[in-house]
Amino acid sequence: MPMLDGISLRDAFHKGPALKTIFSIIPSIEIIEMIAIAGFDAVILDMEHGPYSIDSLGPLILAARARGIFPIARVQELSPALIGAALDAGAAGILVPQVTSAAAAAEVVKAARFAPQGARGVNPWVRAADFDAERGWFAQANRSICVMAMIEGREGLEALSDILSVEGLDGIFLGPVDMAQSLGVAGQPEHPIVIEALRQTIVRATENGMGAAVFAPTVAAARRWLQLGVRLAAISEDTAVILSAFRRLISELQVPISEA
Ligand code: 3PY
Ligand code: MG
């Protein structure tokens, strides 16, 4: 289950072309399918901000896999129980918000990997193990799962050097929306001081051999970060995309018929 077309998210993240993904906060199988059909490589199932819990994750993970994209779960917080449950349900990667120290990043790794690299809770009869794990599954899961810690505030930036040396962490994922609040420019994820903080962090991560990932509120932002070498860019949110399509439709319809 951790693989998709023979490649794991972890390998795709480190070795493949940069991944293009989107946050999904509408818990809908059809939305996940359309994200795949549109051509994204992965979807981030957002349990932090989306109105759903672990029991709706399974069908969404299956929808993503059936349509050939990687399901990544963003859990609500650094909780080993939540991380383990999302991985057991079949998530290919895990994203943990608001990581502010190397110790916290190490906790994320510990919760997401089995021994000897970590201490993920063990149950081999779950979807991730095809309900019947062979002995090799634990090592395969450790090799395949992509583990990312979000840096989205001043404290995380200050702890960057230490976070970059955490063993077993695949990537840091930058959150400009929370970062803007933390840097005193709430609501302005494209403010120059946010962009500069992100730019420096991406460069330092890349120089240290750590994959960088980022949320981009716009296509222009996504292009900027892809050019700088991020391994994964999450462009927008399903809600934002759908609302803007609805608005465009109704505003086009409101043009008087004689002028259209
Ligand atoms: C942020 O930018 O703060 C995020 O968490 C992206 O969803
Ligand atoms: Mg955030």
- φ, ψ (nearest 5 deg) of residue 78: -75, 85
178 Cβ closer than 6 Å to some ligand 1 atom: yes
Q: Show the CA angle centred on residue 77, arms to residues 206 and 242, nearest 5°.
A: 80
pTM: 0.96
Name the residue among 93, 95, 87 with its Cα closest to residue 50: 95
Cβ of 23 closer than 6 Å to ligand 1, yes or no, is: yes
**pLDDT computed for residue 2 by the predictor:** 60
Query: How much is the pLDDT for 45?
Result: 98
| Ligand 1 pocket, residue 238 CB under 6 Å | no
Catalytic residue positions, numbered: 49
CA distances from 138 to 56, 71, 103, 120, 134 (A): 25, 19, 24, 10, 8
Separation of 55 CA from ligand 1 center, angstroms? 23
Give the distance (Å) from ligand 2 centre to CA of residue 97.
6
pLDDT given for residue 152 in this prediction: 98
Query: Which ligand is nearest to the Cα of residue 50, counting in written order?
Result: 1
Q: Are 130 and 189 in contact (CB under 8 A)?
A: no
Task: Give CA separation, 39 vs 18, 33, 179, in Å.
Answer: 13, 10, 28
pLDDT tens digits, the chain, 260 residues: what are they? 667 778 999 999 999 999 999 999 999 999 999 999 999 999 999 999 999 889 999 999 999 999 999 999 999 999 999 999 999 999 999 999 999 999 999 999 999 999 999 999 999 999 999 998 788 899 999 999 999 999 999 999 999 999 999 999 999 999 999 999 999 999 999 999 999 999 999 999 999 999 999 999 999 999 999 999 999 999 999 999 999 999 999 999 987 777 66
Atom of ligand 1 nearest to the CA of 189: 2
Measured in angstroms, how far is the CA atom of residue 122 from the centroid of ligand 1?
30
Check if 152 has its Cβ closer than 6 Å to any atom of ligand 1.
yes
* pLDDT value of position 257: 72
Structure confidence at residue 1 (pLDDT): 66
Does 177 contact ligand 1 (Cβ within 6 A)? yes
Q: What distance in angstroms lies between residue 73's CA and the mean position of ligand 2's atoms?
A: 14
Q: Which atom of ligand 1 is nearest to the CA of 152?
A: 3
Q: Do the Cβ atoms of 91 and 61 come closer than 8 Å?
A: yes
Pairing status of strand 70-74 against strand 93-96: parallel
Three-state SS at 3: strand
- Summarize the chain as % helix, strand, coil (round to 5): 45, 20, 35
- State yes or no: cis peptide before 116, omega within 30 of 0: yes
pLDDT reported for residue 176: 98
